[in-house]
Chain A
Amino acid sequence: MTFQEKSLWVMLVGSLVGFGVYFSAVLPGHGASVLPQDVVLFAVAVAMLVAISVAGHVIIAVLDQRTDADERDRSIELAGTRNASYVLATGVFTSLCVALLIPGNFAFTHVLLAFWVLAQLVQIASQLVRYRRDA
């Protein structure tokens, strides 16, 4: 397993934990608009993501001699980014529809955030699938 593949696993775990905690805390019983405590929770989620990412990358960088991406890694990353762009474009359109149809800013911001997180997960997952398929 290359450094890049391990890095993707770290980011996958970090994103699932960070945003999983955020959405499970914020979605139940939410109001029409974003509350200050929602913003605090979001900051905590991002801090968790950063902490997991930094700790994970330090560990795998110590274990791996080679940490730079080669041309195949870049090609796989490009394909993942392309897949994520479809999800993000869909999310932008959907969130605009939500902004027009649902009062308050909670639904709009969280549909947009959810699609952004989903796009990140699709980007990571599609790269991991390619690495595993070639292995």
Chain B
Amino acid sequence: MGKAGGEITNSIRALRFAHDEMTQQALADQIGVSRQTVNVMEANKYSPSLEVAFRIARVFDVTLEQVFHYAER
């Protein structure tokens, strides 16, 4: 979901499965949002704030660029 002609996608779902099949609820609890918000983020329907983005990267011990990807249209 992006504006100004770009699109932000993410690898949250893949990262969850790579981390012992972490549930959406477990990730949600760790980053301080609801399970539904994790769900819409995974579907690329919602881009989180920078703070939540950093929390997600920290949970998976990766960089922001490994979680979120920006592509110009």
Chain A interfacial positions (CB closer than 8 Å to B): 1-2, 66, 70-73, 134-135
Q: Chain B, interface size: which category?
A: 10 to 19
Q: What's the dominant secondary structure at chain B's contact region?
A: loop
B59 at the interface (CB under 8 A from A): no
A134-B45, A134-B46 given as contacts; is B52 within 8 A of A71 (CB)?
A: yes
B34 at the interface (CB under 8 A from A): yes
Inter-chain contact count A-B, CB under 8 Å?
28
Q: What's the dominant secondary structure at chain A's contact region?
A: loop
Contacts of B40 in A (CB 8 A): 72, 134
Chain B interfacial positions (CB closer than 8 Å to A): 32-34, 36-37, 40, 43, 45-46, 48-49, 52
**27 A-B residue pairings within 8 Å (CB atoms):** A1-B36, A2-B34, A2-B36, A66-B34, A70-B32, A70-B33, A70-B34, A70-B37, A71-B33, A71-B37, A71-B48, A71-B49, A71-B52, A72-B33, A72-B34, A72-B36, A72-B37, A72-B40, A72-B48, A73-B34, A73-B37, A134-B36, A134-B40, A134-B43, A134-B45, A134-B46, A135-B36
